[in-house]
Structures are given as structure tokens and as C-alpha cells.
Amino acid sequence: MTVGPRVLLVEDDSSLAAMLSELLSGEGYAVVLAQDGQRALHEGLSQEFDVLLMDRGLPAIEGLDVLERLRDRGVDAPALILSALSNPADRVEGLDRGAEDYLGKPFDVDELLARLRSLLRRHPTRAGAVRVPGGMLDIDGRTVTSATGTVIVLSERESELLAQLARSPRQIFTREGLVSAVFPDADDDGVVDTYVHYLRKKLGRSSVLTVRGVGYRLGEIR
């Protein structure tokens, strides 16, 4: 079965680690948790990840030291540092030592999720699958695979529209915004309604939800 983007979550605070694990899993990520630097180094070198979400103040090995060692060994997954060390000098150090982004604690959950999505968009080869109602969307393959292994084939535009909704599952998209992102050559926004109809016919009516007076959003993922 296809899985969602794989994230290595490196956080030694047990309560925060549990919250982040639940949050990321709910957003379709496959989460591997490491709660000290040594474990993070082991997981990072023994498995492939689409994105790294790392604290700095870790037992055994400091977070940026872990990241530098991973980079030295050829691990190029984009990294977001999530740390209470968040003054400008700390941020500069993090970016200079291999991180693509840096977010201070405390943080806003929606901003964290947006930054992770941004990292995956900037590294498109690492964003090939995303969770959708009923299964996993393989963006490049234009298929949705259910938990039972059933494969549903989508057209190019159907796949692009579903991927646009799925990358921001909490966001409500206007028709105009979807036209701009998915159908830039369309003459009017009626094309969005047409392709939403196609997706619902293939994936079920609840796969894409109508928000009256606004537009559409991804259906609930169970």
C-alpha cells in the first residue's frame, strides 16, 4: 500500500512528541519518532524520509550536530528545525548548518503544517503521495489506492485538483483559486464544478465537500 510523506520527528519532550505525532498522522504523514540525538542519527541513516522535523536541545547529540552528520552522509531530506532557541543568531546558525527552515517554540500548529507542505512542494520528488478520503493519492501515477488495495485511475486534471485540495486538507478553496492553480487555461470557473463532479463519481460524494458561498475543500479523512 502507498504511504504518505515520511517524516522523521525528533523531539525529546514526550508530551509534545505525542501531540506532534498525532497531528502529523492525522494530516497523512507517516511518522517515525526519535527522542534523542543518537536515535535520530540511526533512523536518519537507516531509513529514507521526505522531511525532517527536528528539535535542537536533545539528549546524547545536539540537533544541529545530528543534522550536520546526516548531511555529511548524503541525507538530503529537507529539514525544519523546531526549537525554543529562536533568536536571529540561532536561526542563522540552523540555516547555515543544513536546515531549510526554522520555527521557534511556541509555535502555531497551522503555520507548522504550512511550512512542512511548503518544504514538500519545494522538493517535488518527495511529495509523490498524499492521503485523501478513501486511500492514498499517487500524484505522479494519477491513482488512488484504497486500504484494501483497490486502485482508481484518475485523469491528469482530476489528479491535479485532488492533490491541490489534499496538500491543504483544512483549507477552503475558492473556485477562482482552483482555476488559477489547476486550470489556468480555462475560460471560466465552471470547469472546477465539472471536475469535482468527476472526482465524486470515482471516489464518492464525500471525497470533496462543498462550502456554500465559498468553494470546496477536501472531504474528511477517516
Is the pLDDT confidence value at 3 over 60?
no
pLDDT score recorded for residue 123: 66
Once rounded to an integer, what is the mean pLDDT over residues 212-219?
92
Q: Which residues pair with 31 in a beta bridge?
A: 7
**Model confidence band, residue 131 (pLDDT cutoffs 50, 70, 90):** confident
Full set of structural domains in the chain with CATH: 6-126 (3.40.50.2300), 131-218 (1.10.10.10)
pLDDT score recorded for residue 22: 94
| C-alpha closest to that of 176 among 162, 160, 193, 159 | 193
pLDDT score recorded for residue 18: 96
Percent of the chain surpassing pLDDT 90: 61
Is the pLDDT confidence value at 221 over 80?
no
Is the pLDDT confidence value at 39 over 80?
yes
More confident: 128 or 164: 164
- How far apart CA 144 and CA 125 sit, in angstroms, is 18
> Which DSSP string do the residues of 157-211 spell out, in sequence order?
HHHHHHHHHHHSTTPPEEHHHHHHHH-TT-SSTHHHHHHHHHHHHHH-GGGEEEE
Kindly state the helix (H) or strand (E) to which residue 85 belongs, with its residue range.
none
pLDDT score recorded for residue 4: 67
Is the pLDDT confidence value at 204 over 90?
yes
pLDDT score recorded for residue 93: 94
pLDDT in tens, 48-81: 888 999 999 999 899 999 999 998 888 888 999 9
- How far apart CA 156 and CA 154 sit, in angstroms, is 7
Q: Which residues pair with 32 in a beta bridge?
A: 8
pLDDT score recorded for residue 220: 81
Task: Give the number of other CB atoms < 10 A from CB of residue 44.
Answer: 25
pLDDT score recorded for residue 2: 38
**Model confidence band, residue 119 (pLDDT cutoffs 50, 70, 90):** confident
Q: Between the ranges 61-70, 73-82, 111-120, 133-142, where is the mean pLDDT highest?
A: 61-70
Is the pLDDT confidence value at 128 over 70?
no
Is the pLDDT confidence value at 37 over 60?
yes
Cell matching residue 160:
491535479
Give the up-direction half-sphere exposure of residue 212: CA atoms within 13 A in the CB hemisphere. Answer: 0
pLDDT score recorded for residue 1: 35
| C-alpha closest to that of 5 among 98, 108, 130, 105 | 130
Q: What is the mean pLDDT of the chain?
A: 88
**DSSP alpha helices (H): ranges in 59-107?**
63-72, 88-96
pLDDT score recorded for residue 193: 95
